[in-house]
Amino acid sequence: MFDKQLINSYPEPEKPVQNAGGALDGLLVIDFTHFVAGPLATMMLADFGAKVIKIESPIGGDGFRQYPPHDKKDASLGAPFIWANRNKASIALNLKTAEGVEVARELIKKADIVVENFSTGVMDRLGLSYESCVATNEKLIYCSISAYGREGKYSKRVGFDPIVQAESGFMSMNGYPDRHGVRSRASVMDISTALTASNAIAMALCARHKDGKGQFIEVPLFDTSVLMTGFGAMQCLTTGAELQRDGNETPDACPSGVFKCADREFYMTCGTDSIFRRLFEIALERPDIANDQSLQLCADRVGQRDRLSSIINNAVAGIEWMALSEKLTAASVPHGLVNTLAEALQSDLSKSRNLIGRVQHPVIGWIPISGIQFICLVPQWLNHSLHQH
């Protein structure tokens, strides 16, 4: 159940500037997506001003609506669903009937963008494939989000975020060496796929401005998951060696990891040799360590990781966090508290970025809202062109 007292403690959003249109004002998006990756992608388009019409089944709607917690006034509005579907209109449409499909076709004829993440073959069976849609709307941008792509031997498989975390090797990189790899609790593959899809759609809009043509976009979760293994993939490709799990440390930076001062645990990393020297010379006042010739290169420090960690923990054990943070900041050493999620959301840092607030919902009253604060400067020619249908 929603904690109304807690929600009422969040700030109301600042008043929008009058007549300040978003970069995607005037664009129409027909949204056939459900759960996370697809809805989050279309939500980003809505955040920038696009009109998004979400198509849902008359029975139950998007299955993501059932994820808890729910407000007592409306059991169909779970918090996760609200998180991924703000700024949208929603209609119930039975796509198992000819009438429902015909309504969808009429909407698509007027649309700029269609986004879908059904199982492979569903949109084809409905008569709503890219080919059939572009036949009546040649400027249409059609984005298909899937688990493994729409063609090939794996295209029929159903996949979810934790599955592709496992299959891509991402899971094998995370955790501690004495146990199995660990998935990310957050749906990082769904979120990164949403970011990839919304970015691809933006690029397609730029291309359409130049040539007047729409295009088909495909964004599979598995492809994105391989990308999300980061430069570890290149390390593996160039050496053939499996990456080892290092817990909270990293083999590419030393010292790094979780340390404990007088009152808090914090994370710190020395990503360059110069940061290492600043840490010990300025912040910890240990010039002997900073200038030790056996520690000047990261490759040499990795072999002395335990020694350095012990020196750091001993040096900070009697210093409270606020005082230590000032020292680390003055030395330009990257560092941060190890927060719980609740602590992070309520932190001064989140508040300084205006990341958490509340808005009025027409059915359930005040609801919390969180998200990235975008600063978007749109050239006049682009802002004008995106209004054209």
**Whether 283 contacts 331, CB under 8 Å:** yes
Residues 6+ away with beta carbon under 8 Å from 70: 1, 2, 76, 77, 78, 79
Task: Please compute, for residue 176, the number of CA atoms within 13 A of its CA located in the half-sphere on the CB side.
Answer: 3
Of 90, 197, 89, the C-alpha closest to 144 is: 197
Q: Would you call 112 a catalytic residue per the annotation?
A: no
What phi, psi does 53 have (nearest 5°)? Answer: -110, 115
SS3 (DSSP) at 88: strand
Per the residue annotation, which of 31, 62, 161, 190 is the catalytic one? 190
Residues 6+ away with beta carbon under 8 Å from 316: 259, 260, 261, 262, 284, 324
Biggest distance spanned by C-alpha atoms of the chain: 79
Residues 6+ away with beta carbon under 8 Å from 322: none
Residue type, 265: E
What is the residue whose two structure tokens read 């027409």? 362
Residue type, 14: E
How many angstroms separate the Cα of 220 from the Cα of each of 156, 187, 226?
12, 15, 10
The dihedral of CA 183, 187, 190, 196: what is its sign? negative
Long-range contact pairs involving 172-175 (C-beta distance under 8 Å, separation at least 24): 172/242, 172/243, 172/245, 173/229, 173/232, 173/243, 173/245, 174/245, 175/245, 175/247
Question: Rounded CA gap, 267 and 253, in Å?
Answer: 13
Active-site annotation, residues: 190
